[in-house]
Structure 1
């Protein structure tokens, strides 16, 4: 049994090293696509390939136990989505996107050390996050219904916010464990991990988002768990839009 486990771990390490050895080539391709978008913002194929590549790398990073890659790619995905929505490809976008690629290159070096220390890369990620946010606050929407997600975004569009949307509770928990947010809006009837379980799990961790303000939105009346510590619990009814704006304003820091 021990020999089998040793062989299994050796195989996993071999796969991890192979993944890291391919990272510089991926970074080279990302750089070429970013520069293409800087000079020709309307090249749809370049954007689609870049987004798919970053999304694929995010999944691969998690598979090989490199959560720093997952976090990095999640932030870069957010930048790509927001820039695409605003049709803002150009020099400012390219500068920021290339900075993410530079951090990816550093991961390849650090990850091969005996005791990898990603603190400098994490600091760089936080600087890029603040650059993207500028004076806006960062909120996570955890909601399985696309209709409700659209309502939240439309309702809150006048506020100085950057909203990140995820469709299931497990993905929301993963992001809350690794990325800083100012508040979270949680649908009670989430897929995979419901809203109550999501927040109860987060409150039990010792992470930066452990005490994050959370707003619960539910179509059901029922008990709200004390250890989930919601700042507000809102009903999905005709008052939701007004109540949501008020609840978000109440929890915004500063």
Structure 2
């Protein structure tokens, strides 16, 4: 009855005109509220679309909705629903821009690290190809971080699977002209990030959020020593992005100690 509906509606939240929430707000409800408010031609875009495609691990606080006509922004719980005027071709449900367009669009507001993380996950999981990404990039005149997108596409064939691996390759190995290692090398104890086989040296790149079981890593390091007399060096984001010169010097010294030398070139940042 009308009275029952009115009574129920008193407990509903109305984030914007014509949209009601009958349950506690979630990120997904913010997405659907944006699409309902935006109309039939609206499409989720940028970082929110990248998250829906599975290449952005954390749901962004801002849900971007592309719509042909102007709409007023609103909030759903802690999430901001932001409208951008324009058209994007829709794919899947909830309606979202294509993965390639979403990544190029998110470059507008994303940090370099956020963009690299999304690119690395998309390419490593074969969700897209360098060619499709470069095609999407080429359809725009100016794109923030365009150089990074091109470099990531070029590096995808080398086995780079994460933002940390890309940063380490660029800032530590590449800038300092250190020898290239075998990526995703297979040893007796398991697969490793970087393997300098002749030097008996393993380099592991550890993102804190991806390595909750540190004791397992310690056992594996010990196995490398016992089975093949390999030493393991471990680096994270702080080394790759904050102290690349120190990491490069340490890697150079390790290669010199175990392999008799290594190419090395000091960069302008080296003390």
Relative to the length of structure 2, the TM-score reads 0.28
Structure having the larger proportion of residues in helix:
1
Look at both structures and tell me which one has the larger radius of gyration over its CA atoms: 2
Relative to the length of structure 1, the TM-score reads 0.29
